[in-house]
Chains A and B, each alone.
Chain A
Amino acid sequence: MNYFRNARLSTKLFLSMLLVTSVIFVTITLVTFSIVRDLTLNSQKEKASLLIDTVNPTVSLSLFLGLNDLGEKLSTITHRDEVVALQILDTHGKILLNYRQHSPLKSSQMINVTENLVEPSSLKPIGSITLTYSGEEFTQTMNRFYTLYAWISISVFSILWLMILWINRLLLPITLIAHKVRNYKPGTKITFDLPYTQREFTHISHSFEVMQESVIKYSQEIESINKNLEMKIAEQTHKATRHLYYDTLTSLPNRIKLQEDLLEYPTNTVAILNIDDFKEINDFFGIDAGDWLLTQIAHWLNEMKFKPYRIGGG
């Protein structure tokens, strides 16, 4: 059951068709078999009955009159190949005539028909006649029926086989679409080259193409947003770096930067310049004057092609 549930659509379709066709085919076969068998059997029984009816009055009258030439009277039917055996019994079960000819058929392939023999005038039972009729024609008819149904079976299941091929071909676009969609990556464009045009599959491929365009559009928007974000991050990173490595007042590299540069270039010579009693300047001329002075000193040092750092201050 799980296998059927998880099976491919083509398999499900095929199994469903196989099941339905088999049920219909078996039903029709059984009904037809029953009808043909009954009709053929009844036809054979009718023939046997007709044969008995042909001789019944003669045999009845011969028995009634006490004539002993029953064999001669029955020669009209006993010479027929279909008549395998003929037996006449009186009312006490005594065998009055027992005709039998060799037949290769089994007893199950023979048809027995029994009729009563009655007195012509009073219709009083005087015995019975049993005709064993060859069922060869019945067997031949049934064999022809089996052969016919064997060919019909082969035809039906050949058609079913062709149908599964057709279903597979019909559902091939779904497999192709599924395969392409499975390997889809944003940024790439896929095209659906369907082996044939079918409205449903065209709708599906069109829907996928519309979806693909939407994905591309959203991807582009996301990419643009990402670029802006990256620029802003870079800017903020730059700012943070300056704030970390540079003095905000003089824009000179700070002590952290000096330490890293010394680690990077250990052979350089470092001269330390200190302004004595700088606090007095701030106190006497104000902080702004102190800041201006520090800025000018930094400017001078830069102009003198030194590579100055500010290792003190805020």
Chain B
Amino acid sequence: MEVLMRIVAILLITVYLAFASDPLVINAHVRMLPKIMALDTRLSSKTDTSKKIFAVVYDGYQKSEAQSIADAINKTHNGKVSTLLFSAISLSANELVDRKDIAFVYVVQKSNPKSLKKIAAWGVENSIPIFSYDVADLEYGILGSIAIERTSIIYISKKNLKEGKYHFDEALYQIARFVE
């Protein structure tokens, strides 16, 4: 019985770890993604408002996680990166495609591939940079992601960069790692 309980516990922990976000990665994303948003050289022409909207997009039942990330971003940056005023909010994928005031999108972990493709298409169409938690999402048309390896690595999809006609500060291209 005791052995069985141990196995069940290990399985539960494994399942939890498989679905839970890595705090280290989340922390890096919270610190860096608003700054990457500030590197978008065409940011001011994309929305009319002076305060830009950083959307943390979720799919299904991840609203709380998206909201906590948005809160963490607002708390860390205090609504400002350099001279850029912004606000992080959480949105569902369906809500996102109806909005016209979004400057940057971050997709939380384990989103549905269908939703990811939808968000990516919307991003390409409106030239809004889409970053996601998982580097593997780049194959669904997501522009980029940040992974923690030996150091923090910014991954950018070359194909999606061209399609979306994104324009970032040149220095970003020097430090980013491009994937086909």
Asked if B152 and A67 make an inter-chain contact with CB atoms under 8 angstroms apart, the answer reads: yes
Asked if B171 and A61 make an inter-chain contact with CB atoms under 8 angstroms apart, the answer reads: yes
A69 to B147, CA, bound (A): 14
User: B28-36, B93-101, B107-115, B135-143: which one contacts chain A?
Assistant: B28-36
With A66-B32, A67-B151, A73-B175 already in contact, the answer to whether A121 and B170 are too (CB < 8 A) is no
Contact residues in A for B84 (Cβ distance below 8 Å): 121-122
Closest 10 CB pairs of A and B: A57-B171, A122-B82, A69-B151, A61-B171, A120-B169, A122-B83, A121-B38, A58-B174, A121-B82, A65-B32
CB proximity of B35 to chain A, nearest CB, Å:
5
Q: Per-residue CB proximity of A62-102 to B under 8 Å, as 1/0?
A: 10111111001100000000000000000000000000000
- Residue B6 lies at the interface, judged by CB distance under 8 Å to chain A: no
Contact residues in B for A120 (Cβ distance below 8 Å): 38-39, 169, 171-172
A72 to B171, CA, bound (A): 15
CB proximity of A126 to chain B, nearest CB, Å:
10
Contact residues in A for B31 (Cβ distance below 8 Å): 65-66
A122 to B84, CA, bound (A): 8
8 Å CB contact of B170 from A57, A64, A72, A124: A57
8 Å CB contact of A57 from B32, B83, B152, B174: B174
Contact residues in B for A68 (Cβ distance below 8 Å): 151-152
With A66-B32, A72-B151 already in contact, the answer to whether A61 and B172 are too (CB < 8 A) is yes
Contact residues in B for A119 (Cβ distance below 8 Å): 82
Q: Per-residue CB proximity of B70-105 to A under 8 Å, as 1/0?
A: 000000000001111000000000000000000000
A and B contact pairs by CB, cutoff 8 A, 9 listed = A57-B174, A60-B171, A61-B171, A61-B174, A120-B39, A120-B171, A121-B82, A121-B84, A122-B84
Q: Per-residue CB proximity of B138-175 to A under 8 Å, as 1/0?
A: 00000000000011101000000000000001111011
8 Å CB contact of A69 from B32, B82, B150, B169: B150
Contact residues in A for B171 (Cβ distance below 8 Å): 57-58, 60-61, 120
Contact residues in B for A124 (Cβ distance below 8 Å): 82-83
* A71 (CB) vs chain B CBs: closest residue: B151
8 Å CB contact of A67 from B38, B83, B169, B175: B175
Q: Per-residue CB proximity of A32-69 to B under 8 Å, as 1/0?
A: 00000000000000000000000001101110111111
Contact residues in B for A69 (Cβ distance below 8 Å): 150-152
CB proximity of A53 to chain B, nearest CB, Å:
12
A65 to B151, CA, bound (A): 12
Contact residues in B for A57 (Cβ distance below 8 Å): 169-171, 174
